[in-house]
Structure 1
């Protein structure tokens, strides 16, 4: 079910970017698996058109991409360093094509939403989403930097357990927020493709 929800907006993006489909067409028949433990394990097969479909059961993976929840907001923000932290195995040439497309494929959310909720509301939703994504990314970066400074300068290797527990809770909350944001974006895209008007 998750695959069908993810494929519709992904193919919608690919149909709007002919360059991306042309890059994928030579990879027709190859399968890429995307792992986000414990939330996602999705295998997609490239079609002759350059679009993708759910991989058939038992088909071997040509490339496997494994990422962690903390990478999601950074990848959605197209941070170059985040792509380097994805663990990749398998066909390196195929993997590089997918990474290149991932870095350069941009969803015009505002244009798609405007057809559902109107231009003004769509603009405000996109602005709010951009601010939220920026906040997530900056907060994670600041928390990481603060922790490193604390352990290396102020209290080397003497971080209090209660402080570490609080930090872990904050990071877990950020991870959950990022996952909810991703689910909402996928739901909006799926509803848009089906012609539904989901309240924001």
Structure 2
């Protein structure tokens, strides 16, 4: 690999996670820059022109999905890996539609991130692959989570509009969003 393939931008508002991941990927041959918000990510991308980006879905009050087209406009062939602690099929599909190459749920280790960034043979995931249902029906709480995530994505992360469309109080929606998603399959 040439040096250009190793330039990496990590965009995450969690300073500790970002620092640990940057050190781990740095030891794996990446030249790593970090940014804690969308504005500094744009500035860093313009200055460094990284070939890859690890982007967190939640950047404080902002949504990392909104940043994907801006980063792709700066470096069109940038490989973007979206990370989130709030994984859902709806956000995975939306991330791919906006130009992300891969999507991983936190917690994730540096080896998985490196594999996702360096595996150029796999190409973009198909929406059908992401939306494939598990063998057993999803639990009701998981279906609710998926629906909330889909509506939230349609509203570009606007909590008030999402709550209005779902017919629930804004605080109730925020409480549901602050919880980690339910497991896809009941424990056996």
Max Rg structure: 1
Greater relative CO, 1 or 2 (CA 8 Å, sep 6+): 1
How would you bin the TM-score normalised by the shorter chain? 0.3 to 0.5
